[in-house]
Structure formats: structure tokens, C-alpha cells
């Protein structure tokens, strides 16, 4: 299962039933779990932690040092969970002293050429399209779909169950459950198809829709709109998620 043309540092820890193709480089201080497929010409560098059941395609580089001039060689990690598909030429950099790690969760698809910068956190069940670039300390919540060639400014957060139009760029946070697109990027309505596919009830979808009508169409400032949401929309974990996401936004939300 391990090509004789691969290099694996003697201190690297490799789990069971791992397939490693030719010209793979695996550095020291690397831990790789079970049932992974690592295709030719993959580089898994110092500080990488790979879970179980991942498929890593040719040219991917995991654990390269951050592209951050504040990084001075501190001990950090790049962590990939379970059952991810990491396509060709994806790069996932190590963390810095800001958060000490970069994390990609479970069951994600990172398409060709995606860049995940230092201290970024990608949740579970996300799809990130070709050539999308995530700057440092970006947060992506579960089940977000980001189309191709999207640019995310550092420190931004993307809410769960969002759909972001290809070619978009954002320096603001993008709340959950919505479609975001146009230029400049803006709220384009609810991600109705995505929510229905995920089993959201019609009643819940309507409540989410009504919450965003208040937030985006009432003409009120954000604080007043959120107060009205709390007063008029039946509370549920989903509505609370919207309210807390916006209340805790450090960069402000897209309009």
C-alpha cells in the first residue's frame, strides 16, 4: 500500500490500511490515521494531523508554514478530520500563535486549488469550490457551500447552510441560511433549495425568511432589527443562531 518511491520520515506515525502513492513526501511530526488514500506528489509537512478515511489528490500540500510575517517558527498544527476529499493542488497552512492550529473538520469537499490559510477553521459538511481562497483566521460553519474563485478577507465568518456565488469577494461576515452574491456581495435571499434538502420544515423556513425580512428589509439598524426579531419571530435554535451570529459579528454582516 506504500510506494517505494514515497518518502516517509522515520518519526511520522502512519495508521492502518493507508495507501501512499509515489513521490509523496511525509515529514516528521506528522500523524496520519487509518484508511486514508494519499495520491502521488502529495506533501504532508511538519505539524500535520490527518484523521481517518480521507482522500488526498495529487499536488496537495498540507502543513506548510503560514504565509504570515508574524510567524517565527512556533509549534503549530494543520489538522484535517475524517472522510474529507481534498482535490488537486489544495494548500492547507499551519496555524500561528494567534490560534495555534488550522482546522478542516469532517466530510468536507475541497475542490482543486483551494487555499486554507493559517488559523482558519472549516466546519463539517462544507463544499468549497475550485480556486477559492480563504485568508487567515476565517471561520466557516457547518454545511456551507462556497462556489469557485471566492475570495474571503481575513477574520471573516461564513454562517452554516449558506450558498456563496462564484467569483464573489467579501470583507464582511455572511450570516447563515442565505444566498450571497452580486458585486459588491450582498444578501440575495434564503438558500431555500439547500434548506429543503437538509430537511428544514416549511414552518421553520418561513420563520427564518421572516427574520431576514426584518434584518434586511425593515429599514432599521441592526440592533433594532434584531430586537424586533426576538419580539416577533418564534425562537428556535436556528433563529437564535442567526441573532447570535449577527450580534457577535466582529466585521459586520454583508448588506
Are the C-beta atoms of 175 and 157 separated by less than 8 Å?
A: no
Distance CA 120, CA 1 (A): 32
pLDDT at 61: 98
Our answer to whether residue 141 is catalytic in this structure is: no
The DSSP annotation for 100-149 comes to SEEEE-SS-EE-TT-EE-TT-EE-SS-EE-TT-EE-TT-EE-TT-EE-TT
Selected catalytic residue, list 81, 95, 123, 136: 136
pLDDT at 44: 98
pLDDT at 175: 98
pLDDT at 245: 98
> What architecture (CATH level 2) is domain 7-140?
3 Solenoid (2.160)
As a whole number of Å, the CA-based R_g of the chain is 20
Residues of the chain with pLDDT under 70: none
Distance CA 70, CA 143 (A): 31
Distance CA 15, CA 51 (A): 9
Query: In CATH, which of 3.40.50.920, 3.40.50.970, 1.20.120.140, 1.20.1180.10 is domain 195-247?
Result: 1.20.1180.10
Q: Which residues contact 38 (CB under 8 A, 6 or more apart)?
A: 18, 19, 20, 21, 24, 26, 32, 44, 56
Q: Where are the domains of the chain?
A: 7-140, 195-247
Q: Which residues contact 49 (CB under 8 A, 6 or more apart)?
A: 30, 31, 77, 78, 79, 80
pTM here is 0.96
Selected catalytic residue, list 21, 63, 118, 181: 118
Our answer to whether residue 113 is catalytic in this structure is: no
pLDDT at 48: 98
Our answer to whether residue 123 is catalytic in this structure is: no
pLDDT at 126: 98
Are the C-beta atoms of 94 and 118 separated by less than 8 Å?
A: yes
Selected catalytic residue, list 68, 119, 141, 173: 119
Amino acid at each position: 500500500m506504500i510506494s517505494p518511491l514515497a518518502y516517509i520520515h522515520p518519526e511520522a506515525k502512519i495508521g492502518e490500511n493507508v495507501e501512499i502513492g509515489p513521490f509523496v513526501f511525509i515529514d516528521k511530526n506528522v500523524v496520519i490515521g487509518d484508511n486514508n488514500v494519499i495520491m502521488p506528489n502529495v506533501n504532508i509537512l511538519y505539524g500535520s494531523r490527518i484523521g481517518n478515511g480521507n482522500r488526498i489528490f495529487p499536488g496537495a500540500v498540507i502543513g506548510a508554514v503560514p504565509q504570515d510575517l508574524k510567524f517565527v517558527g512556533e509549534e503549530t498544527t494543520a489538522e484535517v478530520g475524517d472522510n474529507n476529499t481534498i482535490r488537486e493542488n489544495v494548500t492547507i497552512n499551519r496555524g500561528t500563535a494567534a490560534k495555534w492550529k488550522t482546522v478542516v473538520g469532517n466530510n468536507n469537499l475541497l475542490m482543486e486549488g483551494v487555499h486554507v490559510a493559517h488559523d482558519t477553521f472549516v466546519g463539517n459538511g462544507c463544499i468549497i469550490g475550485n480556486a477559492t481562497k480563504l485568508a487567515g483566521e476565517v471561520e466557516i460553519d457547518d454545511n456551507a457551500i462556497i462556489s469557485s474563485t471566492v475570495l474571503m478577507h481575513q477574520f471573516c465568518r461564513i454562517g452554516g447552510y449558506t450558498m456563496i456565488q462564484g467569483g464573489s469577494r467579501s470583507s464582511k461576515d455572511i450570516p447563515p441560511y442565505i444566498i450571497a452574491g452580486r458585486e459588491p456581495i450582498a444578501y440575495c435571499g434564503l438558500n431555500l433549495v439547500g434548506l429543503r434538502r437538509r430537511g428544514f420544515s416549511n414552518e421553520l423556513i418561513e420563520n427564518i425568511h421572516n427574520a431576514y425580512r426584518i434584518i434586511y428589509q425593515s429599514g432599521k439598524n441592526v440592533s433594532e432589527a434584531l430586537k424586533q426579531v426576538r419580539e416577533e419571530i418564534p425562537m428556535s435554535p436556528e433563529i437564535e443562531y442567526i441573532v447570535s451570529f449577527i450580534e457577535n459579528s466582529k466585521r459586520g454582516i454583508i448588506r
